[in-house]
Structure 1
Amino acid sequence: MKLSYSGKAITGMLTVVPAHERKFVDEMANFNFSPKRSIKLAEVMGYDRHRIVAGAVTSSDLAVAGLEHLFAGGKLQREEIDALVVVTQTPDHLMPGTSKVVHGRLGLHHDVFCIDLNQGCAGFIIGIMQAFMLLDQPTIRKVVLVNVDVMSRKVSPRDRNSYPLIGDAASVTILECDAGAPAIEARLKMDGARREALMIPAGGLRRPSDATTAEMVEDEEGNFRALDNLKMDGSAVFNFVLTEVPELIRGLLAETNTDVADIDSFLFHQPNRFMLQKLADKLGVPYDRMPSNVVEHFGNSSGVTIPVATTSNLSARLVEERLRVCLAGFGAGLTWGAMLLELGPLNFCEMIEYQEDNQNG
C-alpha cells in the first residue's frame, strides 16, 4: 500500500524508559545455555543491558508519566489535545482501551478523540499514519501519539531467544498540521498468513488463560516458556526481515527519486544489532547512519524503538536542525512499513526515566 501526506509534521518527541535496569551477565544463569555460548551470543546480537519495569507497572503508567512530564514543563497543554492515539500490545485491560484509561487519569476534556491500535514493531509507523488521517479533520489540530509496551511482563525469563533483548518503554509524539511541511511518502505491507512467527498463543478468547497455559515447557532449543508467554520463531523472523524490508525500502527510495546518500539517518525498528547491520549491508547504508545501539542499552521495546533510537541518538540535532530521515518498522502481524520525511527542528526531543514510585494507578 502506498500512502502520501502533505501539510503535516511531527513537532515533538519524548521517550520514557524504566529506571530499573538488568544486565545480561546477571541473567545468564536463567538460560539453559553454557556461559561461554551466552557471552558469544551477547557479542553477536548486541546484548548488554535492558530497561524493564519492576512490579505491576502497566502501559498507562508509562504513558501518563510521559504526558505529565510534558504538562509540567509547559511543552504541552491538556486543553490543546484534540486526539489521543495509543498503540500497544500490552493494554491495561481487555476493555476499556488504554487510550480511555490515559484520558481519564489525565482528566482530558470530553471532545478528545481516543483510539487504541493493537500493533507491534511497525506500530510507530502505523500510529503516525492514523494521526495524519485524523489531522485531515478541520476540528483536529493536534494529535498525541503514544506508543507503549511492557512486554517484559509477557516474556519468559528463561527464554534466551526473547528475554535478553526485550525492553519496556513509552513514547509521546506530537503531530500537527503545518502548511509548509514537505510531502511525506509511506509504504505498508502485511501478511497475516505468517502471523504465528511472533505471537502470544494464550490469553485471548481463542485460547483463554488457565492453569495449563501458565505451565512452563521446554522447547527443542532448551528454552522454557508457557503459552501465556511471547513465542518468537527467530529464524522465520530473521528471514522475513532480510527478505521483505530491503525490497520495500528500495522501492520507496526509487519511487521518490531518493538516493541512500540523500538520507541523513535511517531510523529503523531495533530488533538487535546483528539484524540491523545486515539490513544496512543489504541497503548500502553506512553503519553510522543507521543507529543499532538501542537493544544493548535499553532493549527492544517493540513499536517504541524508533522513538528511542531517535531521542537517544539525535536529540541535540533535532531540536536545531531539519533532517531527512527514513523510518522503518517490521514485526508482528507480520507487518512491515517505511516512511520518508523531513524531521525537525522539534519543539522537544528528549528521554526521561520512569521511577517505580511514580506509579499512581
Structure 2
Amino acid sequence: MNLKFHNKKITGILTVLPENEVNFDDEIDNYDCSRGQSMKLKLIMGYGKRRVVKKGTTVSDLCVFGMNYLFDNNLLKKDEVDAMILVTQSPDHFVPATSHIIHGRLDLKQDMICLDINQACSGYPIGLNQAFMLLEQDEVNKVVVLNADIMSRKVSVKDRGSRPLTGDAAAITIVENDSSDNIIYGTVNLDGKGADALIIPAGGFKMPSTSETAELKTDKSGNSRSLDHLVMKGDDVFNFVQKEVPPMIENLLDKAGSDKDEVDYYMFHQPNKFMLKKLADKMGVSHEKMPYNIVENFGNSSGVSIPTTITYNLGEKLLTNSFLICLAGFGAGLSWASLLMEMGNLDFCETIDYTD
C-alpha cells in the first residue's frame, strides 16, 4: 500500500540504550561450534558488542527515562504532548497497554491519545505513519512515537543464530505539523503466511508458558532453545528481505518521482551486517549511504535499530543540516515498510545511556 502525507515533520529523535554491555567474545563458549567458526561468523555477521537490559528493566522504564530526559532538558513540555504511540513486541504486561503505564508514570494530561502498536522490525515506519495520520486531527499538534524492545530477554543463551545479535533499546521521536509544503511518501506491505519465520511459539494465549515449553531442545544446527524463546528461520528471513525490499524501495522512489542517487541516506533496520551489505549491493546503493554499524556496537534492537542508526551516524549533523532520507523496516510478520522524507534542522538528535 502506498501512502502520502502532507506538511508533517520530525523535530527530534532520542535513542536510549541500556548501560549494560555484553561482548560476543565473552559468550563464545555458550555456542555449539568451534572458536574458529565463531570468529568467522563474528566477522561476517557483525557480532561485537550489544546493549541489553538488566533483569527487571522493562520497556516502560526505558521510555520513561528518555521522556524525563527531554522534560528535564526543556526539549519537550508535558502539556505539548497530544498523542503518544508505543511500538513494541515486548510489553510490560498483556493488560493494560504499556503506553498507559508510561502515561501514568509521567503524569501526562488526560486529554490525549495513547496507543500500543504490536510491531517489530518494521515498527518504526509504521509508528510514524500512525503519527502522521493522528496529526490530521485539529486538536493533535504534537505526537510522541516511542519505539522500544527488550527481546534479549526472549533469546536462548545457546542460540548462536540470534543471541549474538540481539540488543535492547528505546527511541523517542517527536512528530509535528509543518507549515512548509512538503510531502512524505510511504509504503506498507505484509505477508502473514510467513508469520512463523520469526516467532516466540509459547507465552501467549494459544500456547501458555509451562515447564514443558521451557525445556531446551537442540536443532540440527546445534542451537538450543525452548518454545519460550525467539525462533528465527534465518534463511527464510534473508531470502524474504532480498526479494521484497528492493522492489519496495523502487516503488517508493517512483511514487515520489525521485532517483535512488538523490537520496542522501538509506537508514534501514539492521538485522546484521551481512544482510545489509547484500541488500545495498542488490539495490546499487553505496555502503556509505546505507550504514550497517549498529549491530556490532549495540546489537539488533528490532525496529529501534532505525532511529539508533540515525542518531549514531548523523547525530549533530541533523541539527543544522537537512537530508533526503529513506527509512525501511522489514522482518517479523512478515512485514516491510518504508518512508521517504526530508529530515533536518531537528531540535535534538542524540543517544543517551539508561541508568537505573
* TM-score of the pair, normalised by structure 2: 0.99
Alpha-carbon distance, 1:314 to partner: 0.2
Match of 2:5 in 1: 5
Residue 194, structure 1, aligned to residue 197, structure 2: no
Alpha-carbon distance, 1:2 to partner: 0.6
Match of 1:287 in 2: 287
Superposed CA RMSD in Å reads 0.7
Contact 2:185/2:255 (8 A) holds in 1: no
In structure 2, what residue type is equivalent to 1:343?
M
SS across alignment from 1:38: helix
User: How does 1:181-260 map onto structure 2 within 5 Å?
Assistant: 181-260=181-260
Match of 1:317 in 2: 317
SS across alignment from 1:315: coil
Match of 1:352 in 2: 352
Cα deviations by residue, 1:94-136 (Å, 9 ceiling, x for unpaired): 0001100100000111112000000000000000001011100
Residue 36, structure 1, aligned to residue 44, structure 2: no
Match of 1:50 in 2: 50
Match of 1:24 in 2: 24
Contact 1:328/1:339 (8 A) holds in 2: yes
In structure 2, distance between residues paired with 1:298 and 1:318: 21
Match of 1:63 in 2: 63
Runs (5+) with no aligned partner, structure 1: none
SS across alignment from 2:126: helix
Alpha-carbon distance, 1:255 to partner: 2.5
Alpha-carbon distance, 1:252 to partner: 1.3
Runs (5+) with no aligned partner, structure 2: none
SS across alignment from 2:189: strand
In structure 1, distance between residues paired with 2:157 and 2:247: 35
Alpha-carbon distance, 1:167 to partner: 0.4
SS across alignment from 2:338: strand
Aligned-residue identity in percent: 50
User: How does 1:105-120 map onto structure 2 within 5 Å?
Assistant: 105-120=105-120
Cα deviations by residue, 1:306-327 (Å, 9 ceiling, x for unpaired): 0000000001210011100000
Match of 1:145 in 2: 145
In structure 1, distance between residues paired with 2:118 and 2:173: 17
Contact 2:11/2:176 (8 A) holds in 1: yes
Contact 1:9/1:181 (8 A) holds in 2: no
Cα deviations by residue, 1:257-315 (Å, 9 ceiling, x for unpaired): 21121011000001111110111101111101101000000000001000000000001
Alpha-carbon distance, 1:253 to partner: 1.3
In structure 2, distance between residues paired with 1:159 and 1:169: 20
In structure 1, distance between residues paired with 2:137 and 2:128: 15
**Range moving further from structure 2, 174-183 or 319-328:** 174-183
In structure 2, distance between residues paired with 1:184 and 1:155: 36
Cα deviations by residue, 1:228-259 (Å, 9 ceiling, x for unpaired): 11000000000000000011111111232211
User: How does 1:88-127 map onto structure 2 within 5 Å?
Assistant: 88-127=88-127
In structure 2, distance between residues paired with 1:179 and 1:190: 33
**Range moving further from structure 2, 250-259 or 342-351:** 250-259
In structure 2, distance between residues paired with 1:158 and 1:252: 39
SS across alignment from 1:252: helix
Alpha-carbon distance, 1:181 to partner: 4.9
In structure 1, distance between residues paired with 2:10 and 2:199: 31
In structure 2, distance between residues paired with 1:195 and 1:206: 15
In structure 1, distance between residues paired with 2:9 and 2:212: 48
